[in-house]
Structure 1
Amino acid sequence: MKSDDSINGVLLVDKGQDMTSHDVVAVARRCLDMKKIGHCGTLDPMATGMLILVLGSATRIQDLLMSEDKEYTGTLKLGETTNSQDAEGEVLLKRPVPEDLTLEQVKAAFDTLKGDFYQTPPMVSAVKINGVPLYKLARKGQEVEREPRFVRVYDYEITRFEPPYVDFRVVCSKGFYVRSYANDIGEKLGCGGHLSALRRTRSGHFKLLPGKHVTFDMLKGGQKEQVLTSILSLYDVSKLRGA
């Protein structure tokens, strides 16, 4: 593929379900006829929403954009623990959800995971141990000790409480696993739980806004001219970030 070296900037993609972040990058490369594309923060195949792509010379600010806080909306399903901590995994344990569970008790569990704390990454993740991604070990049925990571929850909101489901919004730091968050809250409530839906609505200063982002279908359909009009220049990015 002959690379188009004239394209530089940031592209906001509304990622759909059942695709990896790498899939999005691969399709963007074909659509734009260029090789130098990276993404700023992996989204699991189940997750949807904001995926920032950096194009051309914008790849030099990839680490900077990845380091910023994120905002998600998600759904916690209580009563079932899975090996991946989300709905795509195998159910390991089922426990009854207390019939008298109250919203106040759920809020109390969420409150324990607000602010600064250490979080243990899930086994089904891209975190590497001795150079090997954890998910590869998990596929072999292996479970190894993982070093907890320092993370931060800036804010959260419970938007729906209809047991066994709890909808929530969370604002968190880089490196935060919402799957582990859901799993840990389920354990604090004594019935277990897993993440059944997830959408990233913001990454740093970037939000998904009409006319400012593209979809996977637009990239896959080769709508290059329309995609090009959605690319933010490095100057636009600098102004948005107040730099």
Structure 2
Amino acid sequence: MNDGLIIINKPAGYTSHDIVNIVRKTLHTKKVGHAGTLDPDATGVLVVAVNKATKALQFLTAENKEYIATLKLGIATDTMDASGTIQEEKPFTGYTDLKEVLDSFLGDSMQVPPIYSAIKINGKKLYEYAREGKEVKVEPRPIHIQEISLLKEDHDEITFRVHCSKGTYIRSLCYDLAKKLGYPGHMKTLIRSRSGDFDLSQSCTLEELKEGHYRMIALKDAFASMEHYVLEDESIALNGKRIDENYDHNIAVFNKNGDILAIYGPDGNGKMKSLRGLF
């Protein structure tokens, strides 16, 4: 039985759940899930877990992501992307200080998520309020942008790469960037080029998946960047017992043969407790 991760280069026009269903049918297994949703219009890295690896999904939603986005100046839409209804237009006459404007987004800031998003307020998703035409107050959220760099300028379109924290909405970033340049604007295209440790170089297309040309990343390799802890007696992890160590972060627990057993985290009392068995 196949257990592990497949990195899919998601094409536009598919939801993340569509991809999960395609993997289920292709590999003939129901146990498939994904980490980190991509909007239907977006393309790029979608981390898909198969069989036993689905147990690890909660630890594979990366804290850091990298995107390549194209911002279209002069037109704002209700969804902040190319699929939305035009709300505002302004003729393009050029801009100045682009590098300074891009750099102004570096570091910590507060960002207002798009109204067309799946964030829940009072048990209801924001896009459901939007579709019903109901007003709802969307609170800004803390984000961190580690790097933002210009890739291309083409008249009223700006393509840039951004390395950001989980929870950053690139649609909102495009909207805010356009505003600082003096225009309405929207995100024309979006590619997720990296999610945590996984990037496009490890990915396969849907066609390659269906032809059997894909790489299955073993679960032990998926946690290569997490601190490892080797147990002499693996029954400790197999029975979910605490480990007498005091780390302030999660650790990947292995046996002497190099098999991953579990993810452990601090229990608040100076020991490590099992967060999820992966055997």
Would you call these one fold, judging by a TM-score over 0.5? yes
User: For 2:122 and 2:36, how far apart are their aligned partners in 1?
Assistant: 22
Superposed CA offset, 1:135-183 (max 9, x none): 1221222231112111110001111122311010000010111000000
Which residue of 213, 222, 232 corresponds with 1:237? 222
Which residue of 85, 96, 111 corresponds with 2:103? 111
Which residue of 13, 18, 26 corresponds with 1:23? 18
Superposed CA offset, 1:111-133 (max 9, x none): 22111111111011111111211
Counterpart position of 2:207: 217
Whether the 8 Å contact between 1:86 and 1:179 is mirrored in structure 2 is yes
Does residue 81 of structure 1 match 2:66? Answer: no
Whether the 8 Å contact between 1:78 and 1:163 is mirrored in structure 2 is no
Whether the 8 Å contact between 2:111 and 2:143 is mirrored in structure 1 is yes
Q: CA deviation at 1:55?
A: 1.5
Q: Secondary structure at the match of 1:226?
A: coil
Higher relative contact order (CA 8 A, sep 6+): 1
Whether the 8 Å contact between 1:123 and 1:143 is mirrored in structure 2 is no
Unaligned runs of 5+ in 2: 229-279
What code does the residue aligned with 1:97 have?
A: F
Counterpart position of 2:213: 226
Which residue of 172, 192, 195 corresponds with 2:184? 192
Which residue of 14, 28, 31 corresponds with 1:33? 28
Unaligned runs of 5+ in 1: 1-5
- Kindly tell me: are residues 213 and 241 of structure 1, through their superposed partners in 2, closer, same or farther at Cα, counting changes over 3 Å? farther
User: For 2:128 and 2:145, how far apart are their aligned partners in 1?
Assistant: 28
Whether the 8 Å contact between 2:101 and 2:177 is mirrored in structure 1 is yes
Q: CA deviation at 1:54?
A: 1.2
Q: Secondary structure at the match of 2:100?
A: helix
Considering fraction of residues, name the structure with more helix.
1
Counterpart position of 2:87: 92
Counterpart position of 1:161: 153
Which residue of 155, 159, 164 corresponds with 1:172? 164
How many aligned residue pairs are there?
A: 228
Larger Rg: 2
* TM norm structure 1: 0.88
What code does the residue aligned with 1:56 have?
A: N
Q: CA deviation at 1:240?
A: 5.5
Whether the 8 Å contact between 1:41 and 1:52 is mirrored in structure 2 is yes
Alignment of 1:112-131 (within 5 A): 112-131=104-123
Q: CA deviation at 1:231?
A: 0.8
What code does the residue aligned with 2:176 have?
A: D
Identity of aligned residues (%): 39
Counterpart position of 1:206: 198
* TM norm structure 2: 0.77
User: For 1:135 and 1:83, how far apart are their aligned partners in 2?
Assistant: 11
